[in-house]
Chains A and B, each alone.
Chain A
Amino acid sequence: MTVILGQTFTGISIGAVLLLIALGLSLTFGQMNVINMAHGEFIMAGAYTTYVLQKSISDAGMSLLVALPVAFLVSGALGALLEWLLIRRLYLRPLDTLLVTWGVSLMLQQLARDIFGAPNVQTRAPDWLTGNVTLIGGADPLTVANSRLFILGLAVAAVVALASTLRLTPLGRRIRAVVQNRDLAEVSGISTARVDRTAFFVGSGLAGIAGVALTLVGPIGPTMGTNVIIDAFLVIVVGGIGQLKGTVIVAFVLGVLQSVLEYSTTVSVAKVLVLVAIVAFLQWRPQGLYTLRTRSLV
């Protein structure tokens, strides 16, 4: 019983990581239809930001908390710059966007190698994140790592913040208007160019937050972005384009599925089975779990 509960929680925590890395992408890819292959490198930028901050702020806990807003700004600024320099010239040309952002991703990886060196680096986790919380005591205790709880909390907070921004603020209303019907939004007096850039800033900034979270799980390196970007795209595609709730549900379902299969088989077999499940699901629902219904012609 403890094993089942433990594995379920492991799945939820894998899901939380997936959710964090996919959340920014759900805005830029899901809502704006931009295939940004450099999204993984924005995650990397967030992780390296944490590393740099820990070098200057010796207290591990403080540097982690400071890293959250700073990484959001650093990655967000990178994203806004990319949008302004390249992507805005390539809207409605998805293949070109894909190739250009892939190139940018390679350049960012090399840049990281030149600045921080090719070997991966690590950050120290603060003491309050290295311990465990015992959920069920006794002879066969169920313990949950503090760092995993922190990531879960971070993921939930990020989703709530993004969802309420989209739903409640004037900015969110404008983003939704542009997503649903770009031309109509424009004739209604919305500056779609500015909305695009702001949305891209927020989406990329969320990648930075994911980068901070990933430093608690594994090492920081130039290729860490490419390792997670495929998973992020999978979550969005299965969840359905243009819907936040699809992303949230699919991230947790894939996380739990992965951990349960991994427990009964092996890591590699579990990965294969999850991919087979995804392919089968997309045969049945090619549009993903949820789709946005609009009257738009495009």
Chain B
Amino acid sequence: MSSASIILRRRFLSGGLALTAVVALSACGAKTDAAGSSDEAAQADVSGDTVKVGLLNSLSGTMAISEVTVRDSLKLAIDEINASGGVLGKKIQPISEDGASDWPTFAEKAQKLIKEDRVAATFGCWTSASRKAVKPVFEKNKSLLFYPVQYEGLEQSPYIFYTGATTNQQIVPALDYLKSKGLKKLYLVGSDYVFPRTANKIIQAYAKANGMTILGEDYAPLGSTEFSTIANKVKAAKADAVFNTLNGDSNVAFFKEYKSAGLTAKSLPVVSVSIAEEEVKSIGSQYLAGQLTAWNYYQTTAGAANEKFVKAYKAKYGEDKPTSDPMEAAYTSVYLWKAMVEKAKSFDPEKVKAASDGITFDAPEGEVTVDGATQHLYKTARIGEIGTDGLIKEVWDSGKPIEPDPYLKGYSWASDLS
């Protein structure tokens, strides 16, 4: 090698180091920002004739496929409330921030909403990783987050209201359903982060106590699009059903590969807990027809409240837009917050929390009730089958709202989990 190119390479190396250092430094800067500098509770700004609320969703990146629709339904609820007079006589002014499918960004934006915009409450987050990232920010600033997505349970932050299902309202009923159908050999596939890993721990414990076997457990990085090996493994394992906790558009690649491997809903059904109507639309119903999902709400759920919600949503965002469970939970969460604030006659988070127990709302999924002790909701569990038209048809429901049990204290097999 000539001396000229050695010098070139050295300059290249030192430059590379400098670049790394700059990137590392800027990352540190972001971290201190997110952690915040003062300990005092943030005061929401409610002096004017409007009250600000934060909407914190991924509007870009791998989770945007799901989270944009949640932002849209939050806006729908806010518009409806504003049209009927607002909350305590104040119009709601939403401040939307993009979490960009990146967990530190979520923490940063949460800090910004609380400290700079001085919002009265924040609505949003989807993945558990993003919720875990913002949880300390909300707790430290004593500000409220309404979290609208089903999750893995085993959590009860004093400053978060969980309006999606916890495990005993979604995953456990889904397992009960599989057991009742005689599907006892399961294969677990999930994205590699906190929700799928914890959910699968719960499934393992359930299986052990209920005579079911888990033939394999595979995780792919969030956003991964290479699923041919996992499909081959699933096929070779000869399971009765697949329990799918993949999130975001990894599902697109997974179901394409699933079909390519010659697997179908008839030969090997997949139960998914993160695929709702919106995801069905973008994955393509030809890949999903016949597969099962577990949720608390479908667009097809009967009831006047749902008809009104679906109609209003389509009128605002377009006839071809479906409604889904997290969207419904998000929509409901704004109304629940309004009811809590009106009962407390204050926007103060402590007073809102104190007023929360027993608040009910005639939600699109049916009546929901806030359990003040756990800050979760009583919700009805529903199993659905995806149709060729992209809608989900209910095949089973729990009959009545199930009491939330985030730590699964009422289940003996779950005693080792928390």
Contacts and interface: CB of A to CB of B under 8 A. Distances in A.
A143 B262 contact: yes
A266 B62 contact: no
Contact of A297 (B4, B229, B256, B282): B4
A149 B229 CA distance: 16
A240 interface: no
Contact of A267 (B65, B224, B261): B224
A219 B249 contact: yes
B177 interface: no
Nearest to B249: A219
A221 interface: yes
Contacts of A14: 226, 228
Interface string B2-31: 101100100110011001000000000000
Contact of B60 (A113, A130, A141): A113
A124 B228 CA distance: 19
A122 interface: yes
Nearest to B283: A122
B233 to A, nearest CB: 6
Interface stretch (A3-11, A69-77, A153-161, A165-173): A3-11
Given A94-B8, A227-B223, A10 B228 contact: yes
B362 interface: no
Contact of A118 (B2, B19, B64, B236): B64
Interface in A37-93: 92
B282 A218 contact: no
A197 interface: no
B61 A118 contact: yes
> A113, A121, A219, A222 — which one has the most chain B CB atoms within 10 A of its CB?
A219
Contact of A266 (B218, B249, B260, B283): B218
Interface in A242-298: 259, 262-263, 266-268, 297-298
Interface in B186-240: 192, 218-221, 223-226, 228-230, 232-233, 236
The size bracket of the interface on A is 35 or more
A87 to B, nearest CB: 16
Interface in B50-72: 59-62, 64-65, 68
Contact of A268 (B8, B221, B236, B261): B221
Contacts of A120: 62, 64-65, 249
A218 B2 CA distance: 44
Given A148-B260, A267-B224, A122 B252 contact: yes
B249 A218 contact: yes
Q: Label chain B's interface by main secondary structure.
A: helix
Given A92-B8, A120-B62, A217-B253, A267 B221 contact: yes
Contact of B229 (A147, A217, A259): A259
Contact of B68 (A95, A119, A148, A217): A119
A13 B260 CA distance: 13
A141 B236 CA distance: 10
A263 B262 CA distance: 18
A119 B68 CA distance: 8
Given A118-B64, A132-B262, A298 B228 contact: no
Nearest to B5: A298
Interface string B286-329: 10000000000000000000000000000000000000000000
A223 interface: yes
A184 interface: no
Contacts of A217: 225-226, 253, 256
Given A218-B253, A268-B192, A7 B229 contact: yes
> A10, A124, A227, A298 — which one has the most chain B CB atoms within 10 A of its CB?
A10
Nearest to B253: A218
Contact of B225 (A98, A218, A268): A218
B2 A298 contact: yes
A145 interface: yes
B245 to A, nearest CB: 14
Given A218-B253, A223-B61, A145 B236 contact: no
Interface string B228-270: 1110110010000000000001001100110111100000000
A119 B64 contact: yes
B59 A3 contact: no
A122 B61 contact: no
Contact of B232 (A7, A132, A297): A7
Given A122-B284, A130-B259, A298-B2, A148 B228 contact: yes
Contacts of A92: 8
A295 to B, nearest CB: 11
A267 B228 contact: no
Contacts of B257: 145
Interface of B: 2, 4-5, 8, 11-12, 15-16, 19, 59-62, 64-65, 68, 98, 192, 218-221, 223-226, 228-230, 232-233, 236, 249, 252-253, 256-257, 259-262, 282-284, 286
Given A13-B228, A266-B219, A267-B226, 10 more contacts: A14-B226, A119-B60, A119-B68, A121-B282, A217-B253, A218-B253, A219-B282, A221-B249, A267-B229, A297-B4
11 contacts: A3-B232, A7-B229, A7-B232, A145-B260, A219-B252, A223-B62, A227-B223, A263-B232, A263-B233, A266-B218, A298-B4
